[in-house]
Amino acid sequence: MAKKTPTPTPKQIDLDKDTRSSTDQFLTTNQGVRIQDNQNTLKAGDRGPSLLEDFIFREKMFHFDHERIPERVVHARGAGAHGYFQPYQSMAAVTKAGFLADPDKQTPVFVRFSTVVGSRGSTDLARDVRGFAVKFYTDEGIFDLVGNNIPVFFIQDAMKFPDLVHSIKPEPHNEIPQATAAHNTFWDFISLMPESMHMILWAMSDRAIPRSYRMMEGFGVHTFRFVNADGKGTFVKFHWKPMLGVHAVAWDEAQKISGVDPDFHRRDLWEAIESGVFPEWELGVQLVAEEDEHNFPFDLLDPTKIIPEEMVPVQRIGKMVLNRNPDNFFAETEQVAFHPGHIVPGIDFTNDPLLQGRLFSYLDTQLSRLGSPNFHELPINRPVAPVHNNQRDGHMRHTINRGTTSYQPNSLGGGCPYQAMLSEGGFSSYPERIDAHKVRDRSASFSDHFSQASLFYHSQSPAEQQHIIDAFSFELGKVTYPHIHERMVGLLTQVDEDLARAVAANLGVAVPHEPEKPMNAGVPTDADPEKYEPKAAKPPIDKSAALSMENTAKNTIASRKIAFLVADGVSLSDVKHMKSAIKAENATVELVASRLGAITTSDEESLSADKTFMTTASVLYDAIYVPGGEKSVITLAAHADAIHFINEAYRHCKALCFSNDTAPLISKTFIDVQGDSGVITGGNMQETSRRFIQAIAGHRFWQRELVRKVPA
Ligand code: HDE
């Protein structure tokens, strides 16, 4: 598909002021002096020592020496893209936010997706939470929706965040392991932290190994507040719903992708945008009237709880489209600075104690990362709304403020810049009434830690439940302390007895007969431990269809990647027909052969191979097609790598399609063409391609896992 060039947004026009291209330009120093020799240092004789006066060399090396900045303490690895957001209708009844008021108005956005635990160079396919941070450049200032692809969090209070992160990061003595929770310290912490159980169930589910950033949901996690022009507040939970559905890879596949293409998600996002199949999400909101705050069996301020969609439906209020890749990774994706405290009139916080702590952390962290309180002046961070205030100076100040006054009130500067009235868009915080004692404490309404973990588990399909069991068994299997296994199994009994039994069996530990009281080490000294004891509660509903990826959209193959396995003698008409059927659905085809270069077809035409069995792997594709052509089929049947390619895709439950005369190849694989779903063979080309496309849209045929035929 030809790439569409998006119309520049106001933010792009703003960024263009700082964008440079060196085409047809001389090489210069940073002071603009033209350089005549960029190959040799200045020396005393051509075999002599280098001279200190070589300002060109020193400037070049000085800059290089300082190229790196500290990576983010969490969410270090990420990928970003530009786009826009457009509401479907005015939301003025509940919020005065201008960017949600006018269905004709597009607001520029920059989005950064990330993993949480790994460092900048780690793999994209780690089992991890994914960050989903959106910067809206609204006319009223920046609004950052700094969310994740999981709707709840591990802890209820920001005080515990450094402990959580220290436990999951590589262990301090040897900095092992990288980008994974599967080690002693994390599970030690979690097994002592019952409030983490809901999030842990999500993290052990396939949500933590997405097929693509483009196929993830996003969540604001906390309950926020909308405020309308009359000052009336409404609680709001934010959701992003991907138009391509929510899909994951298999765990075995994730581990292999981490080896063959650690940039898998980054590349996937980049390529989708370059090819013009723009990633899209709908913005959803769950609205709760203030009067209903206490009508739920959980606390709206508790970030370990969702509001099930069956209780409060998600209203889809607009769409976000990502249509432009960054020009420069460092300047944009690395330097972008998100902060949940960047809000605009019409949006406000609640007292969620996790959110309250975040409001300190994000601003603070930019100082050590970007090195200056002027980070907001970096092109990617500056708003399109005008900025005027009396803040001055600091490292790397860009703005040149005119005038003699940098204080308020002033008369010498005519009183400028002046405060805005409410009617002029001035921000005023929601005047929530607070009448309380100052305490370090947690509300009793935060003490149900298991009911929503159970709801999540019970809402999964059998295959998804098995994947959760497998993930617990893998992660805890890497833990070398049996008492941590036992504590975790004890906690899992509170979520689901069968889950606990299955995990215990894999770990070789016993399930406690009577579910024990879970240990909760997160109790302050001098506090009444009873008060902190988790309370058993019934889930708000028994099952929620929205929680299972099985029920997601499966109606498109747009942007999916399909491998065609070919060799000399392949049927050109098979290749052509299938390729055009797949391309018509906006998906991509790559021809994979044993070598690069021209492949001669059965009718002596020539095709060009895109990849070889050495340069690619089945795990990088969504589906596989083997076209006919006797000679090609026989060659592939004799090629161990081709057979492995097919078997591996089969093991990962992908759609496979074989042309008519491919029996000699199929017979070398583990595939049973009669009994295996998602395997399409022979027949009329039109019908075959239709069935194949439908199978690819179905994503995976997990039932194949029940009979694990293919060795890893
Ligand atoms: Fe973050 N988090 N976080 N977080 N977070 C950061 O800010 C923090 C939390 C999230 O692409 C840091 O600029 C605390 C929840 C995303 O640049 C830091 C707490 C959610 C990103 C920080 C949380 C998130 C971050 C590190 C608990 C989902 C990446 C670098 C109180 C709603 C943004 C930075 C990007 C990044 C602190 C918990 C999402 C240190 C203290 C809950 C998507 O400020």
Residue 526, pLDDT score:
78
Q: Is 369 annotated as a binding residue?
A: yes
How confident is the model over 206-216, as a mean pLDDT? 98
Residue 674, pLDDT score:
79
The verdict on whether 339 is a catalytic residue reads: no
Residue 3 has pLDDT above 80, yes or no: no
Single-letter code of the amino acid located at 140: E
The catalytically annotated residue of 82, 148, 239, 339 is 148
Give, for ligand 1, the residue of 74, 333, 354, 355 to mutate: max count of ligand atoms closer than 8 Å to Cβ.
Answer: 74
Residue 602 has pLDDT above 70, yes or no: yes
Ligand 1 atom 23, closest CA: 358
Residues 477 and 581 in one domain: no
Residues 537 and 605 in one domain: no
> Is 161 a pocket residue for ligand 1 (Cβ < 6 Å)?
yes
Instruction: Identify whether the C-beta of residue 562 lies closer than 8 Å to the C-beta of residue 696.
Output: yes
Hey, what are 175's tokens? Answer: 């900095």
Residue that wins the pLDDT comparison between 707 and 105: 105
User: What's the Cα-to-Cα distance from 143 to each of 102, 148, 346, 377, rounded to whole Å?
Assistant: 16, 16, 11, 16
Confidence of residue 536 (pLDDT cuts 50, 70, 90): confident
Q: How far apart are CA 115 and CA 77, in angstroms?
A: 6
Least trusted range by pLDDT, from 136-145, 446-455, 682-691: 682-691
- Any domain includes 64: no
Residue 4, pLDDT score:
65
Residue 708, pLDDT score:
75
Q: How far apart are CA 354 and CA 352, in angstroms?
A: 5
Output 436-443 pairs: Cβ under 8 A, ≥24 positions apart: 440/524, 441/527, 442/156, 442/157, 442/353, 442/532, 443/299, 443/301
Hey, what are 442's tokens? Answer: 């947690």
Q: What are phi and psi of 426, to 5 degrees?
A: -65, 140
Residues 516 and 501 in one domain: yes
Residue 697, pLDDT score:
98
Residues 366 and 459 in one domain: no
> Is 354 a pocket residue for ligand 1 (Cβ < 6 Å)?
yes
Least trusted range by pLDDT, from 158-167, 491-500, 505-514: 505-514
Hey, what are 492's tokens? Answer: 């899992």
Residue 516 has pLDDT above 90, yes or no: no
Residue 524, pLDDT score:
79
Determine the angle formed by the axes of helices 497-507 and 462-477, rounding to 10 degrees: 40
Instruction: Identify whether the C-beta of residue 585 lies closer than 8 Å to the C-beta of residue 558.
Output: yes
State which residues form the domain around 667: 554-706
Last residue of a domain, one of 354, 377, 400: 377
Residue 706, pLDDT score:
82
The number of the ligand 1 atom at minimal distance from the alpha carbon of 72 is: 30
Centre of ligand 1 to C-alpha 358, Å, is 7
- Any domain includes 25: no
Residue 427, pLDDT score:
98
Residue 539, pLDDT score:
86
Q: What percent of the chain has pLDDT over 70?
A: 98
Residue 170, pLDDT score:
98
The catalytically annotated residue of 75, 82, 183, 222 is 75
> Is 73 a pocket residue for ligand 1 (Cβ < 6 Å)?
yes
Give, for ligand 1, the residue of 129, 149, 338 to mutate: max count of ligand atoms closer than 8 Å to Cβ.
Answer: 338
Residues 98 and 118 in one domain: yes
- Any domain includes 422: no
How confident is the model over 553-574, as a mean pLDDT? 97
CATH number for the domain harbouring residue 500:
1.20.1370.20
Centre of ligand 1 to C-alpha 307, Å, is 22
Residue 226, pLDDT score:
98
Question: Closest Cα to residue 122, out of 182, 69, 75?
Answer: 75
pTM of the predicted model as reported, rounded to 2 decimal places: 0.96
Residues 255 and 328 in one domain: yes
Q: What percent of the chain has pLDDT over 90?
A: 92
CATH number for the domain harbouring residue 584:
3.40.50.880
Residue 696, pLDDT score:
98
How confident is the model over 304-310, as a mean pLDDT? 98
- Any domain includes 319: yes
In degrees, to the nearest 5, what angle opens at C-alpha 14 toward C-alphas 8 and 19? 90
How confident is the model over 466-492, as a mean pLDDT? 97
Confidence of residue 61 (pLDDT cuts 50, 70, 90): very high
The verdict on whether 148 is a catalytic residue reads: yes
Number of domains in the chain: 3
How confident is the model over 467-486, as a mean pLDDT? 98
Residues 155 and 280 in one domain: yes
Residue 321 has pLDDT above 70, yes or no: yes
Q: How far apart are CA 309 and CA 7, in angstroms?
A: 36
- Any domain includes 56: no
- Any domain includes 94: yes
Last residue of a domain, one of 345, 377, 409: 377
HSE, CB side, 13 Å, CA atoms: give it for residue 439: 8
Residue 515 has pLDDT above 90, yes or no: no
Confidence of residue 6 (pLDDT cuts 50, 70, 90): confident
Residues 489 and 624 in one domain: no
Residue 519 has pLDDT above 70, yes or no: no
Residues 569 and 531 in one domain: no
Give just the sign of the alpha carbon dihedral 164, 167, 170, 173: positive
Residues 507 and 572 in one domain: no
CATH number for the domain harbouring residue 369:
2.40.180.10
- Any domain includes 339: yes
Last residue of a domain, one of 519, 550, 581: 550
Q: Is 358 annotated as a binding residue?
A: yes
Residues 628 and 685 in one domain: yes
Residues 159 and 287 in one domain: yes
- Any domain includes 639: yes
The number of the ligand 1 atom at minimal distance from the alpha carbon of 366 is: 13
